[in-house]
Amino acid sequence: MENKKVVLIEKSTELFLTYGIQHVSMDDIADKCGISKKTIYKFFENKNDLLLQIITIKIKKLKQILKIYPKKHSNSVKVLYTFFEDIKLIMNKISPILFIEIKKHYPNIFIEILKIKTYTLLPFISENIKQGKEEKLYKNNLKATDLCKSYDTMFNMIFMNYYNNSKSEQQTSISFLNNLFLHRLVSTKGLEELNKLYHKN
């Protein structure tokens, strides 16, 4: 039974990311999983419950992944650069309308997403800035809180307020934002490290 629930979560997540939430019905999910809609309701009360459980699982996984970044990479520039590259890949799989749909139709889910940013992602970036300053790879006069707020505002503009942007436009926008943010952070020493990563990729 538990394996069926895992498959349901994986397949429904794939559908939601690709087509948005409103365009995916419980019948679509049942067809994708090769089961009856009745079976879905053995695990989830409704679509809102399904979404909440998906978000809960993704939050747990994200927290585990964020702990790994500093251990896998030798300095703060590599950590943040790799993190941003991974974010870009993830966002490329997400329908441009997904965040807008969540904000409009699933306010409780939207609040959970905001919590992820506020209590997980932004503290991760803030801690990275602190580490980068200690390594002399970031400018010493940086104010992590202000920078994180600015990044968050621009991120929201890209993914939650644009009604007609395509995936390609999202990719271009997020790449620009991440590169701009990294260049705002790095010192002369850090810029050398950053340029190595650009040339490598």
pLDDT digits (tens, 9 = 90+) for 91-144: 777 877 888 888 888 888 888 888 888 899 999 999 999 999 999 999 999 999
Query: SS3 of 186, please?
Result: strand
Tokens of residue 92, six digits: 């490329």
Query: SS3 of 187, please?
Result: coil
- CATH code where residue 131 lies: 1.10.357.10
Give the pLDDT score at 68. Answer: 92
30 and 92 co-located in one domain = no
80 and 29 co-located in one domain = no
Give the CA distances from residue 58 to residues 55, 77, 93, 159, 190, in Å, rounded to whole numbers and listed in that order.
5, 25, 15, 18, 32
Number of folded domains in the chain? 2
Tokens of residue 48, six digits: 């809102």
pLDDT category, 160, cuts 50, 70, 90?
Answer: low
Could you give phi then psi for residue 165, rounded to 5 degrees? -80, 150
Helix locations, 20-143, DSSP H = 26-33, 37-43, 47-72, 76-92, 98-105, 107-116, 122-134
pTM, entire model: 0.85
Instruction: Write out the residue range of the structural domain in which residue 17 sits.
Output: 1-44
* Mean pLDDT of the 147-173 span: 78
7 and 69 co-located in one domain = no
175 and 91 co-located in one domain = yes
